[in-house]
């Protein structure tokens, strides 16, 4: 998810201490929240299984989130923006609380960028995250033909990246899809429709 706050010369790709901390905290908390969904230790789930799912989530959910946000930042900087990720600690807390009761709405934060951009440039910045998730789904896909644990990593990597691409392309509120939809409905449909169809197939089909 990205947000525009207001063309400047293109700054270098750097990360402040606060930004690195926010990325790390969001990465870990999201991974723990997803692990709680699969192994609800509050209902008697095994601690060993929970730890295994945390590690698995770090390499699937965590990577999907991290590269999604970094893609927003990189493209924003390429368009002359000053951009930094900021974690939303209230939403991260709600992610953990929701996972404990079997429901997860993950909105860990966003890359905020400032500087003047056109509607097209703002849409390209927004589009960078979901497109990155689609590419990651393709990269995870070959792992499903290997034995465990690579098969599980591949399945989860494909599923979570397709889900994030589809969810973030919803044309509503602060989600990435709203900026893309407002700029170019054809390109929006080109990304949104396949993301939703593939995500639904993976979640409810024989994948």
- Pick the catalytic residue from 12, 19, 69, 78: 69
CB within 8 Å of 162: residues ≥ 6 apart: 133, 134, 137, 195, 198, 199, 202
Phi, psi (rounded to 5 degrees) for 107: -135, 75
Residue 142 DSSP code: G
Phi, psi (rounded to 5 degrees) for 101: -110, 10
CB within 8 Å of 125: residues ≥ 6 apart: 2, 4, 72, 75, 76, 79, 81, 113, 117, 179
The answer to whether the CB of 165 falls within 8 A of the CB of 203 is no
Phi, psi (rounded to 5 degrees) for 51: -60, -40
Query: Catalytic residue at 69?
Result: yes
Which residues are known to be catalytic? 69
């Amino acid at each position: 998810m990205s947000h525009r706050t207001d063309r400047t010369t293109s700054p270098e790709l750097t990360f402040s201490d606060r930004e690195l901390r926010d990325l790390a905290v969001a990465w870990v908390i999201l991974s723990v929240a997803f692990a709680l969904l699969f192994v609800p230790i509050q209902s008697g789930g095994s601690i060993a299984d929970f730890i295994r799912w945390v590690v698995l989530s770090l390499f699937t959910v965590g990577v999907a989130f991290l590269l999604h946000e970094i893609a927003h930042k990189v493209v924003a900087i390429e368009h002359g923006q000053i951009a930094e990720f900021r974690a939303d600690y209230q939403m991260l807390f709600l992610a953990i609380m929701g996972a404990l009761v079997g429901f997860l709405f993950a909105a860990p934060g966003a890359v905020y960028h400032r500087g003047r951009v056109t509607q097209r440039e703002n849409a390209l910045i927004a589009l960078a995250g979901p497109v990155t998730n689609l590419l990651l789904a393709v990269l995870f896909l070959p792992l499903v033909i290997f034995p465990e644990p690579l098969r599980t990593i591949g399945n989860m990597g494909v599923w979570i990246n397709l889900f994030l691409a589809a969810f973030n392309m919803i044309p509503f509120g602060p989600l990435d899809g709203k900026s893309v939809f407002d700029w170019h409905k054809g390109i929006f449909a080109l990304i949104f429709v396949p993301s939703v169809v593939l995500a639904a197939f993976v979640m409810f089909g024989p994948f």
